[in-house]
Amino acid sequence: MIELEGLTKHYGDKVAVDHLTFTVRPGIITGFLGPNGAGKSTTMRMMLDLDNPTSGTVRIDGKHYRQLEDPLTYIGALLEAKAVHGGRSAANHLLCLAQSNGIPRSRVGEVLEMVGLSSVARKRAKGFSLGMGQRLGIAAALLGDPQVLLFDEPVNGLDPEGIHWIRNLMKHLAAQGRTVFVSSHLMSEMALTADHLVVIGQGRLMADTSMKDFIHQNSRSYVRMRSPEQQKLLDLLRAEGIHAVAAGGGALEIDGVPAERLGELAAAHHLTLHELSPQQASLEEAFMRLTAASVEYHAHNGEPVPVRTAAVPGTPQPAGARPGEPQPTGWGTDWQKKRS
């Protein structure tokens, strides 16, 4: 279990991490999501006591990192690939880390076997590919058989086989009851692995929700219609009791009515349609919108700007951004309340 409380980091005037408070629970994979430069790596470095917070605290199983005896046996971390002396062999790299924490030498061979690097154990790390470097970093994280694991962008630079392997490894570790905290800037990756989601943008907490809720909130499907006789179409829909919302580019968006019915309706009234397409908002778009909003809030000095104005015609829009409609509860709303 990792508990962050009001964690803040300033670099001069720049606020990298802004009062982050959340808890990473054991037994599940918690995804830590944010665009590049959102403060993910800084947060993870502060968790490991590498960077000093400007204010706030991080506790690992109730203790400050510096109070942990042989910390590698509590928490293992993969921060960046190839943070290794290139002239040192993989086995010696792990051995020096193991010795500093009183971990038996035999464990080095075990973790090398686990990550599939046994055959290159005696080879110098200089010649390793990015993927092998990543595996070596994971071996180092697993060295102390820790209950808490941090992975910073673990799939970066890996081939599909390696990505598959890491996903399974993380699921396996969480299933054993360990705390797994993994950062990424790819929503699609998180959707496949994480059970819980923490989203930050510009160092601020934007969402702290279960993956299930996030998907439920954001996997909205709707139908888009375009007609040269838009007013006629709107009247028709209204007469049928169907609520339609005007989107950009003369299109209408309709929730909760199947495309078949809409098509038949238009045909029955001899209306020309230029488009009738079922749409599915992707989680990636929901994430981008969530974090893009943080940029807009920032640029306009706290004045909320309707995200809709930035919509590009043809881009499907998920729920939650319509002007005049109540915001859905769940992710992002706490933060928005706090701001406004």
Partner 1 sequence: MAAVGQVIRSEWTKIRSVRSTVWTLGIAVLVTVGLGMLICTLANHDFNSMPPRDRLSFDATNISFAGMGLGQLAMIVFGVLVVSNEYSTGMIRASLAAVPQRGTFLFCKLLVATALVFVVGLATSFVTFFAGQAMLGDLRAHLGDPGVLRAVIGGGLYMTLIALFSMAVATMLRSPMLSLGILMPFFFLISNILGNVSATRKIGRFLPDQAGSKIMQVVPRAGEDVPYGPWGGLGIMIAWTVLALAGGYVLLKRRDA
Residues that bind partner 1 (CB under 8 A): 45, 48-52, 65-66, 68-72, 77, 79-80, 82-89, 92-93, 95-102, 140
CB 187 within 8 A of CB 34: no
CB nearer to partner 1: give 105 or 164.
105
Other C-beta atoms within 10 Å of 278: how many? 13
CB nearer to partner 1: give 52 or 119.
52
* Tokens (6 digits) for 93: 């790299």
d(CA 163, CA 158): 6
Distance in Å, CB of 105 to partner 1, minimum: 10
What per-residue string of b and e applies to 100-134 under the rule 16 or more CB within 10 Å gives b? eeebeeebbeebbeebebeebbeebbeebeebbbb
Distance in Å, CB of 154 to partner 1, minimum: 15
CB nearer to partner 1: give 74 or 110.
74
d(CA 308, CA 322): 7
CB nearer to partner 1: give 69 or 161.
69
CB nearer to partner 1: give 45 or 178.
45
Distance in Å, CB of 325 to partner 1, minimum: 44
CB nearer to partner 1: give 83 or 246.
83
Distance in Å, CB of 101 to partner 1, minimum: 6
Other C-beta atoms within 10 Å of 210: how many? 16
Distance in Å, CB of 302 to partner 1, minimum: 30
Distance in Å, CB of 116 to partner 1, minimum: 20
Distance in Å, CB of 9 to partner 1, minimum: 9
Long-range contacts formed by 326-334: CB under 8 A, 24+ apart = 328/217, 330/207, 330/209, 330/213, 330/214, 330/217, 331/197, 331/199, 331/206, 331/207, 331/208, 331/209, 331/213, 331/214, 331/217, 331/290, 332/199, 332/206, 332/207, 332/290, 332/293
As beta bridge partners, residue 201 has: 204
* Tokens (6 digits) for 77: 């971390």
* Tokens (6 digits) for 214: 């996030």
Distance in Å, CB of 26 to partner 1, minimum: 20
Q: Is 84 exposed, middle or buried (0-12, 13-18, 19+ CB in 10 A)?
A: buried
Distance in Å, CB of 294 to partner 1, minimum: 24
CB 273 within 8 A of CB 232: no
CB nearer to partner 1: give 85 or 164.
85
What per-residue string of b and e applies to 245-258 under the rule 16 or more CB within 10 Å gives b? bebeeebbbbeebe
CB nearer to partner 1: give 52 or 301.
52
CB nearer to partner 1: give 44 or 281.
44
φ/ψ (deg, to 5) at 161: -65, -40
* Tokens (6 digits) for 183: 């950062």
